[in-house]
């Protein structure tokens, strides 16, 4: 049974706890869950204030869309220094998702556009209902991505595809997103949250130190030169397997108290 989390957040966000799973919902359906500064600050606060015992987060949107991106009604004239500071606000918030305390599963439907796609890209797993569509309309609006999209999205879909999306306004469906690397799991309409919740529970059941290694070490190793990557991998592997939780899990497997991997 889900219950409200005791984290002070703006009305544009709803936070709940369901056992070891925390759920964060974007709650501006009348604005297609467009992201204003108050919401971004709230997202950062949520991910830095998770209570003990949370093993994974599900992030979703209320209404018909995940997020249509930056709330353009709040876009004001800024000088260069102010613009850099504003982008830094988004960078800090989304950094707390990608390199935060626990893995995050984003459940996507409807618009996953602009800053909404940048937000989704910061998650570790993305479940997209078939209604979801991806777009980066910044080129037609005379602006540029500012929430880390230049860093995260090319790693998912490649520079050429991101350039095409921004230059031509091309959109990708949830199915096309699965092919190019945006959609991790595809779900039927109305089934995305249940799938995201199932995956989050599976993640929360992992050894915490293994989840930490996957979140914190893996993406950094991938950016290293091979020799440096091998060294960090060996160190992280040794630390993980020396953890008491890992030793218990391995003993359970060897003594046939844990299930074997099978094709699901």
pLDDT one-digit tens code per residue, 217-241: 999 999 999 999 999 999 999 999 9
Query: Across all residues in the chain, what is the average pLDDT?
Result: 94
* Residue among 44, 62, 118, 176 flagged as catalytic: 118
Q: Assess whether 77 carries a catalytic annotation.
A: no
Task: Please tell me whether residues 200 and 212 are part of one structural domain.
Answer: no
Q: Which of 62, 74, 129, 138 is catalytic?
A: 138
Predicted TM-score of the model (pTM): 0.94
Residue 223 designated active-site? no
Q: Is residue 241 located within the same domain as residue 117?
A: no
Work out how many domains the chain is built from and give that number.
Answer: 2
- 253 has pLDDT over 90: no
Residues 75 and 161 in one domain: yes
Give yes or no: residues 196 and 218 share one domain: no
The residue-averaged pLDDT of 149-168 equals 97
Q: Three-state SS string across the chain, please?
A: CCEECCCCCCCCEEEEEECCEEEEEECCHHHCCCECHHHHHHHHHHHHCCCCCCCEEEEEECCCCCECCECHHHCCCCCHHHHHHHHHHHHHHHHHHHCCCCCEEEEECCEEECHHHHHHHCCCEEEEECCCEEECCHHHHCCCCCCCHHHHHHHHHCHHHHHHHHHHCCCEEHHHHHHHCCCCEEECCCCHHHHHHHHHHHHHCCCHHHHHHHHHHHHHHHCCCHHHHHHHHHHHHHHHHHCHHHHHHHHHHHCCCCCCCCCC
State the CATH number of the domain containing residue 13: 3.90.226.10
Residue 173 covered by a domain: yes
């Amino acid at each position: 049974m889900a219950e409200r989390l005791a984290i002070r957040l703006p009305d544009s966000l709803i936070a709940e706890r369901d056992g070891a799973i925390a759920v964060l919902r974007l709650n501006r359906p009348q604005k297609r869950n467009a992201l204003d500064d108050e919401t971004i600050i709230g997202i950062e606060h949520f991910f830095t204030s998770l209570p003990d015992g949370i093993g994974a987060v599900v992030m979703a949107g209320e209404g018909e869309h995940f997020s249509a991106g930056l709330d353009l009604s709040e876009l004001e004239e800024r000088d260069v220094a102010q613009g850099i500071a504003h982008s830094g606000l988004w960078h800090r918030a989304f950094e707390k998702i990608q390199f935060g305390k626990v893995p995050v599963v984003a459940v996507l439907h409807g618009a996953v556009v602009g800053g909404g796609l940048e937000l989704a890209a910061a998650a570790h797993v993305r479940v997209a209902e078939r209604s979801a569509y991806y777009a980066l309309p910044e080129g037609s609006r005379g602006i540029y991505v500012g929430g880390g999209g230049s860093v995260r999205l090319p790693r998912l879909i490649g520079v050429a595809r991101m350039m095409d999306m921004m230059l031509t306004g091309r959109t990708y469906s949830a199915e096309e997103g699965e092919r190019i690397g945006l959609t991790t799991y595809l779900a039927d309409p109305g089934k995305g949250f249940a799938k995201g919740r199932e995956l989050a529970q599976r993640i929360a059941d992992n050894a915490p130190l293994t989840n930490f290694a996957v979140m914190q070490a893996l993406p950094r190793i991938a950016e290293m030169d091979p020799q440096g990557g091998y060294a960090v991998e060996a160190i992280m592997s040794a630390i993980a397997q020396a953890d008491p939780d890992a030793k218990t899990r391995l003993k359970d497997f060897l003594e046939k108290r844990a299930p074997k991997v099978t094709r699901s």
